[in-house]
Structures are given as C-alpha cells and as structure tokens.
Amino acid sequence: MFEIFSSPDAWMALITLTFLEIVLGIDNIIFISIAAGKLEKRDRRKATNIGLVLAMVMRILLLFGITWLTKMKKPFMLLDESWVTGGISWQAIILFLGGLFLLYKSTKEIHEKIEDRGHDEREVEKSRSSSLTNAIVQITVINIVFSFDSILTAIGMTNGISPNPTDALVLMVTAVVISVVIMMLFANPVGEFVNRHPSIQVLGLSFLILIGFMLIAEAAHLSHLVVFGNEVGAIPKGYLYFAIAFSLMVEFLNLRMQKNKTPEQETIENN
C-alpha cells in the first residue's frame, strides 16, 4: 500500500496537495471561528477542533465515495459523429463536471476576495448560533460545502500517479490528515499569515483553475475523444508542478522584497 511513497512524483504530489489543502482550508477555519463566535470562550476552541475533525472525516468519506465512482471506466455512450468520436464513461463525466466546478468555484472565490470582500463571512455571521450543538451542526454544513473543491483538487493532483487506485487514495488521505493536523496546531499563525498576504490565497485559487482545466482535459483523454481529427492527450503532471512551483517562488520573492522595504520606500510607492 505504501510503495507509492518510493516515487518522487508521489512526494511532489503530496507536498503540493498538502499546501493547497491548507490554503483551501483557511476559509474553513475563518468560517468555523465565525460560526463559533457567539459561544462561551471555553466552548469556542472545542467547537473549532470538532469542526476541523469533522472537516477531515467529511473529506475522507467523500474521497472514498468519489474514488469509487471514478472506477466506473466502462463507456455507456459512444460518440461517432463526423467531427467527434469517443466513448463516454461515468469516470469521464465525474472528472469533467469536477473540472467545471473547480473553474466556477475558483473564479467566484477570486471575485469575492477582490471585489466583494467578506461575502461568505457575512452569510455565516447572519446564521451563527449561541448553542454549541447548533454551532457544530452549522460547522458540519459549512464543511460539506467547502469539501468539494478540496476533494476535486486531490483527485486532479493524484490522477494517473499510479495504476493502482489505492495508491492515489493513500496519498489523498495522507495530505488531508497532514493539512488538518497543521491547521489544528497552527490555525492562528497560518490564518494570520494568509490574511496578511491575501495574494497567497488568490494564488492558491488560481492553481485550482489550472487543476480544473486539467481535469476537463483528462476526462476528454479518458474518453479517447478525437475532435476534428485530433485526439485529446493527457496533460503531464510535471507541467502543473512547474507552474505552481514557479508561481510560488515569484510570490515569496515578492513577499521578501516587501518585507525588506524601508518605511520611506513604502511612502514613496503609496504616493
């Protein structure tokens, strides 16, 4: 089962996926803390920890469910038109719809982060409860909503890593558990860092656009789609890793330059 960790590609996928899970989980932490905001101070920490554990359990259950669905590789519909041919399976449908969902969700989230800041926070604020049980129920609902992009990202990052589906599942569950443990231990420092540098979160959401497109291309490739005489090929994971690593390197260089600026330089730039 753990032979997958002898592959450099698997380690690259695990590190990248854990980072993305943490970035995607920041919103989860924020909404959980808002949902628990009316509770007694002693209950807030308990509600937050219960919420994060529920998030982990929910994601693992969804991973098992969606991984089982993606095993349905037998085509149930054949396309044989003059301009397109191929065989559509449930696996391809799930990957295609998942890719579309990631494109929609990430674009919407980027818009809200930049143009309508605090939209989701306001919605959670309206319905938060002063009862621990009600707060946990609300946190569970929030976790279900915010688990789909995380799960689809995991599937996009690990798809094709190994011919054995169990290997990919082990990778995905490991990344989810590590990210939740990190958030439970360092929720405040991580949350404050991302809140101070919202570009990190926007960058993470931009990666979801790449992964969403890759899932759509993978769905077409698994269906052996031939469009206007050209077969749709798979996108090598190395391209994705390079784009993510290069973008993060540029962003951290920018953050370092910002940190090293003197107050006089910042005043000149602001003017």
Provide the CA 12 distance to its chain's centre, in angstroms.
16
| Mean pLDDT confidence for 3-8 | 74
Give the domain extent around 122.
Answer: 2-261
**What confidence tens digit (pLDDT) does each residue in 206-252 have?**
888 888 898 888 888 888 888 888 888 878 877 888 888 898 889 88
What tokens does 129 get?
A: 């409860």
* Residue 142 within any structural domain of the chain: yes
Residue 235 counted as domain residue: yes
Q: What 3-state class would DSSP assign to 115?
A: coil
Residue position matching structure tokens 């890793």: 241
pLDDT at 173 > cutoff 80: yes
Compute the distance between CA of residue 264 and CA of residue 111 in angstroms, rounded to an integer. 32
d(CA 23, CA 20): 5
- ∠ CA 208-214-219, nearest 5°, is 130
Would you say residue 129 has pLDDT above 60?
A: no
Q: How far apart are CA 81 and CA 235, in angstroms?
A: 25
- The CA-based angle 255-260-264, given to 5 degrees, is 120
Asked if residue 211 is part of any domain, the answer here is: yes
State the Cα–Cα distance between residues 210 and 243, nearest whole angstrom.
9
pTM for the model stands at 0.71
- Sequence-ordered list of residues with C-beta below 8 angstroms from that of 43, at least 6 positions apart, any chain: 36, 132, 135
Residue 266 lies in a domain: no
b/e per residue, 3-14, with b = 16+ CB within 10 A? ebeeeeebebbb
Residue 100: name the closest of 214, 202, 225, 207 by CA: 214
Please name the residue that has the structure tokens 């604020």.
Answer: 125
Q: Please state, in angstroms and rounded to a whole number, the distance separating the CA atoms of residues 116 and 155.
A: 29
- Non-local (6+) Cβ contacts of 155 within 8 A are 66, 67, 70, 95, 98, 168, 172, 215
Q: Pairing state of beta strands 230-231 and 226-227?
A: antiparallel
Is 269 part of any domain?
no
Rg of the Cα trace of the chain? 21
Domain count, the chain: 1
Reading the block at residue 82, the tokens are: 């003059």
| pLDDT over 60 at 177, yes or no | yes
Query: What's the pLDDT score for residue 74?
Result: 85
pLDDT of amino acid 241: 81
Q: Which pLDDT band holds residue 270 (cuts at 50, 70, 90)?
A: low
Taking 60 as the threshold, does the pLDDT of residue 70 lie above it? yes
**Assigned domain for 219 exists:** yes
Domain-located, residue 271: no
131: in domain = yes
Across the range 82-94, mean pLDDT stands at: 87
Decide if pLDDT at 119 tops 80. Answer: no
